[in-house]
Amino acid sequence: MTLDATFWVTISFFIFLAILVYFKIPQKVKDTLEGNILNIKNQISEAEKLKDDAKNMLIEQEKKISNSKDEVKLMINKASEEAEKNVIRVNEEFHNLMETRKKNADERIRQLKSQAQKDIKNASVKIAIESVEKLIKNSLDKSKLDKIYSSSIEETKLALKKKSS
C-alpha cells in the first residue's frame, strides 16, 4: 500500500482536530461566542430600556408643551380681556372728559351771552339817558325833539351794532 499525500493530509487533519479538542479550543470558542451573544443581548436590553426612557421623556415633554400651550392661551385670553376692559375704561373716561368740557363750554357761552345782554341793556340805558339829557338841555320844541329822537335811535342802533360785532 502506498501512502500518498492525501493520506498524510487526512492524518494531519485528524491530529490537528485532536489537538484542538485536547486544548478545549471548541469550548473556548463556544464560551467566547456565548459571551458575545450575552453581551449583545445585554446591549439590546439596555437599548430597549433607553428607548423606553426616551419614550417616557418624550411623553412628559409633550405634556409640558401641551400645558404650556394651555397656559399661553389663558394668558392671551386674560391679556385680551384686560385690554378690552382698558379700552372701555379709557373710552368712558374720554367721553366723560368730553361731556365735562362740553358742559363747561355751554356754561361759558351762557355766561358770555348773559354778559352781552347786560352790556347791551346798559348801553341802551346810557344812550337813553344821554338822549333825555340832550332833550332837556335843548329846547323842547317839536322839530328839535324829533331830530334828537331820530339821532338817538341812530346812535342806539350804531351802539348795538358795535356791541354785537
* pLDDT (0 to 100) of residue 59: 95
Integer Cα distance of 128 and 119 in angstroms: 14
* pLDDT (0 to 100) of residue 44: 95
* pLDDT (0 to 100) of residue 2: 66
Look over the chain and give the mean of its residue pLDDT values, rounded to a whole number: 87
| pLDDT tens sequence across 81-119 | 999 999 999 999 999 999 999 999 999 999 999 998 888
* pLDDT (0 to 100) of residue 142: 66
All three cell numbers of 141: 320844541
* pLDDT (0 to 100) of residue 132: 76
pLDDT band at 156 (very low <50, low <70, confident <90, very high): confident
* pLDDT (0 to 100) of residue 165: 64
Res 32 pLDDT > 90: yes
Contact present, 156 and 127 (Cβ < 8 Å): yes
Contact present, 138 and 148 (Cβ < 8 Å): yes
| pLDDT tens sequence across 117-155 | 888 888 888 888 887 777 666 656 667 667 777 888 888
Helix axes 25-137, 5-22, angle to 10 degrees: 60
